[in-house]
Chain A
């Protein structure tokens, strides 16, 4: 026998498949017999004369749930698929094994791990992408293919949150389309696309999901339209552009340079994609292959890099203007956060922002809704150099009762 596996038992000849916990010997493991039967082996007790083990018959799918932490260890026994486990007592000296089938309800509580004890092994619950699959399918199907892999943090199985999946795929499609509008030739020779051009670009940049793969969770995407006789396609050009952006990685200068050549809307879409990934804590793998020979790339962007890229493309510059006073009506105020909304009198123009601490907040605390004040404000302009977005807000410096020096209680 090979300790700890017993011999001469009804379980047959066992081999260790995987050890989950080892302490001076395997203590928790998966074992398989000649007939392919799977067991979860667990060191349950020890006495002066020997050891007691539990061997839980288990299916592969259930084992994958247990090893990834989807099912706590104790529950794997208590809610056993077949309702029983084998108790195997092994004599300390002779190693002779005695086997008894026990109903799981009869297993003493203190023989099992604590209720919340789980394994947390990364577990591939879907077939992995065969390394050459993307390239082969692109060549065979004469269309660009992308293996778009998500690596969500904290997921041990080949699974991904629906929100991450839908939002990141939506961002990728949006980005592809925007790049299409940037690089597609204008048939009429003008700056703007006609309706027919727009429809064609939208159609030619469509990606479709053609399969999924494991490790962590991937969607295989294909171009909806196949390539032309020369293996050229608009979506292929878009994906090549996206690949060059991804290849810039966290190199701020290079990323700025590449995005600057594209429309601001491309930068916005690129930012959307990385903000989604960062917010939902996911890394990314991007494997692209075109039917055109030599056009392929594979990139892995880990979560820290995703966060860094999101930070780079979200960064704004801010400019503070001079103070000015405006007569305005107080519409709303939050005395905790200092947020406020004022409307000009007359004119009704809107001023939204935060109060300067602590003076501005103190003024807000004493103020009344709908009353008219002389508001001292400072304009702050924030701009994102990549996307070209400009946002203006106003810092409330002081709020004084109109015509008086300060707000009265």
Chain B
């Protein structure tokens, strides 16, 4: 999946066309490690990993200070952080927590905001990241 855009490089490596210059930021590193994402269904679907600027295009303009971050998707690096955010906001309380391992082919990531457990991942075109997040983190924990 590539966030609805078309590739500006070879599939699996390039970034969506709607990414402005400087996105992903230079400080971002290759995606890696265990991560969690609040999703609507498990197995998760492509739509669960759409960046906000694609899912809600009316909200964001490219000159918005948060637009670069809105081009990425929010993940947590701890299950506890995902649970806390889910519980904190009513619109997220029905979500499930998908768990997966990020790899370089998925895109770039950066710890964003003031929460050390929150990362933004800028997903490459056709990375099929949803396939890597097929596990329900809470069921996994019970096993």
Contact = CB atoms under 8 A, between A and B. Distances in A.
Interface of A: 2-4, 16, 18-28, 43-46, 51, 73, 92-95, 110-111, 113-114, 117, 121
Interface stretch (B7-15, B111-119, B129-137): B111-119
Contact of B90 (A22, A25, A44, A117): A44
Contacts of B69: 22
Nearest to B65: A2
Contact of A22 (B38, B60, B112): B112
A45 B88 CA distance: 11
A94 B58 CA distance: 8
Given A24-B52, A94-B58, 19 more contacts: A3-B59, A3-B66, A4-B59, A16-B65, A22-B112, A22-B113, A22-B115, A22-B118, A23-B89, A24-B55, A24-B73, A24-B74, A25-B52, A27-B85, A28-B88, A95-B58, A114-B87, A117-B84, A117-B88
B20 to A, nearest CB: 16
Main secondary structure of the interface of A (DSSP, over half): mixed
17 contacts: A3-B60, A18-B114, A19-B113, A20-B114, A22-B69, A22-B118, A23-B38, A24-B51, A24-B52, A27-B85, A28-B88, A28-B89, A46-B91, A51-B91, A114-B87, A114-B88, A117-B87
A191 to B, nearest CB: 58
B4 to A, nearest CB: 14
Taking each of A23, A24, A44, which has the highest tally of chain B beta carbons within 10 Å of its own beta carbon? A23
A111 B93 CA distance: 11
Given A25-B66, A95-B58, A43 B89 contact: yes
A26 B66 contact: yes
A202 to B, nearest CB: 48
- Residue among B66, B87, B88 with most chain A CB within 10 A: B88
Contacts of A73: 88
Contacts of A2: 64-66
Contacts of B91: 43, 45-46, 51
A121 B74 contact: no
B58 A92 contact: yes
A22 B112 CA distance: 9
B70 interface: yes
A190 to B, nearest CB: 61
Contacts of B85: 21, 23, 27
A110 B88 contact: no
A51 B59 CA distance: 11
Contacts of A113: 87-89
Nearest to B38: A23
Given A23-B92, A24-B74, A3 B84 contact: no
B109 to A, nearest CB: 14
Contacts of B115: 21-22
Contacts of B55: 24
Nearest to B57: A93
A45 B51 CA distance: 20
A110 B90 contact: yes
Interface in B73-100: 73-74, 84-85, 87-92
Contacts of B92: 23
Contacts of B64: 2-3
B129 to A, nearest CB: 15
A92 B65 CA distance: 20
B108 to A, nearest CB: 17
A110 B70 CA distance: 27
B118 to A, nearest CB: 6
A304 to B, nearest CB: 19
B74 A23 contact: yes
Nearest to B91: A46
B107 to A, nearest CB: 15
Q: Which 5 A-B pairs have the closest CB atoms?
A: A46-B91, A3-B59, A24-B52, A22-B113, A113-B88
Contacts of B89: 21, 23, 27-28, 43-44, 113
B115 to A, nearest CB: 7
A46 to B, nearest CB: 4
B114 A121 contact: yes
A110 to B, nearest CB: 6
A22 B59 CA distance: 15
B36 to A, nearest CB: 11
A44 B91 CA distance: 7
B88 A92 contact: no
Nearest to B50: A24
A114 B84 CA distance: 10
Interface in B31-71: 38, 51-52, 55-56, 58-60, 64-66, 69-70
B88 A21 contact: yes
A46 B52 CA distance: 15
A45 B90 contact: yes
Contacts of B87: 113-114, 117
